[in-house]
Amino acid sequence: FGRAAAIGAGGLALALLLPLGIPGFTNGAFPQGSRLDWLGQPTGLNPIVSLGDNLRRPGAFGRMTYATDSETPLYLRTVTLENLTGARWRPTDSRSEQREGVEDMGPPGTRRLLEDGTVTTTVVETHSFTSPWLPVPYAPTEVDGLDGDWSWDPRTLAIQASLGTSSANQVYTVVSVAPDLTRETLEDADPIGRPAVDSMFTSLPGSMPDIIIDTTEDVLDGLADPYEQAMAIQSYLRGPGFVYSEQAPVDGGYDQSGFEVVGAFLEEKAGYCVHYASTMAIMARQAGIPSRIAVGYAPGRQTGDVVDADGEELPEYEIDSRDAHAWPELYFDDIGWVAFEPTPGRGAVPDYAQADAAPAPDPAEPDSLNPGAGPTLPTVPREERQQGGAGQAEESPAQSLWAAAGAAVLLLALLAP
């Protein structure tokens, strides 16, 4: 029995530790789209696979909190998908391009943004959230307080952990800057007339489903202005012909990424954020607008608490797996990357992306969040927060881990000769 138990325990330990040592390891005993948090639930986003596993999972997990002086609902961004030419889409391997250290990132265009944009301070506490990428508001210029080694991609501003560094149990302060965008500013943007960005943000495959090409031509018929084109695509996807569904792609067999999936989504007109963001990014590229898919978290819920940040009390918010989200970012000449929100019933549509004739907002709907109203997001009752934000207590980390270990050891012991 002793030898069998040792073999079983060793095998289990290897199975548990291997995903932690290989960035991007997503398959096996744990749900796709997550990585094992040694002290708790499998948490964290892996954009290589669908976010649907996180969104469909009962209850909430991967809780994080943040406090911010932002006056608009804040998205936390982890990574982007820009290589949209293959059968399956994933973040570009950019380690050779990355720069070490995040205390002074100084991304391209920062000086102009600092002159014309709004600077925001956000304090993030990750708790048990585990991911190779760090959740930060866009565009980060400085991150302080992190443990471990981190690097960042100057093309996308994604921040990635070095091997051996964990995103769990981190408390850090992010200084970010964003342009003060208005409809007028975007309407005045010129079409991209020169190689303003890397070609990976505009590349398309040689062939794609006809429905993608035909739909883009129909939606953009007669439109030449980049902002008008972007708004037409967003309005089409948010229109009454589409519905938000986390289950329909599973039932229909198109719950992944890629051009065949986008084609199926346009046929069925039912999906969740990955499908809406992917479709808008592809349609934008067909119009000549550089695009990418951002992965992270939509604005969460206000906890009712405040966090002291250098003497300033900032309202605290919480996010978890229910807020996992994807959205498109489009590039405008002399402005930079601009986020849009094509997914109906999720996130918050910015002022500059509001439709002209939008119906009166329903206060019960997430889209009724007023981007200019400051901290008006829903407040989470304290008792729910104490139970993990989902109204149910999370399983004890030690309980789930040791139960699995005991079962594996016992099974191997019984099977051993």
pTM of the model: 0.75
Separation of first and last alpha carbons in the chain: 9
Structure tokens at 17: 């530790």
**Among residues 286, 304, 329, which one ends one of the domains?**
286
Q: Please check the confidence at residue 15 and state whether its pLDDT lies above 60.
A: no
Question: What would the pLDDT profile of 123-156 be if each residue is shown by its tens digit?
Answer: 999 999 888 899 999 999 999 999 999 999 888 8
pLDDT given at position 253: 87
- Who wins on pLDDT, 294 or 111? 294
User: Is residue 390 a part of any domain in this protein?
Assistant: no
Residue 144 in domain:
no
Query: What number is the average pLDDT over the span 164-193?
Result: 89
Q: Binning pLDDT at 50, 70 and 90, where does residue 344 land?
A: very high
92 pLDDT tier (thresholds 50, 70, 90): low
Q: 199 in a domain, yes or no?
A: yes
In a domain, 75, yes or no: no
Determine contact, residues 24/45, Cβ cutoff 8 Å.
no
Q: Is residue 259 part of a domain?
A: yes
φ/ψ (deg, to 5) at 396: -60, 130
Rounded Cα distance between 297 and 273, Å, is 11
Looking at the 3D structure of the chain, how many domains does it have?
2
Among 238, 271, 286, residue at a domain's last position: 286
Give me the phi and psi of 294, to 5 degrees please.
-90, 140
If residue 123 lies in a helix (H) or strand (E), which one and from where to where? strand 117-125
Q: Inform me whether the pLDDT recorded for 403 exceeds 70.
A: no
- The one-letter amino acid at 252: G
Q: How many CB atoms lie within 10 A of CB 204?
A: 13
Sign (positive/negative) of CA torsion 162, 122, 127, 256? Answer: negative
Average pLDDT rounded to a whole number, residues 64-78: 95
Does pLDDT of 29 surpass 60? no
The pLDDT value recorded for residue 39 is 31
Please report whether residue 340 resides in a domain: no
Residue 87: inside a domain, yes or no? no
Residue 252 lies in a domain: yes
Range(s) of the domain holding residue 219: 191-286
Residue ending a domain, choose from 264, 286, 308: 286
The enclosing H or E element of 277 equals helix 273-286
Q: How far apart are CA 303 and CA 220, in angstroms?
A: 42
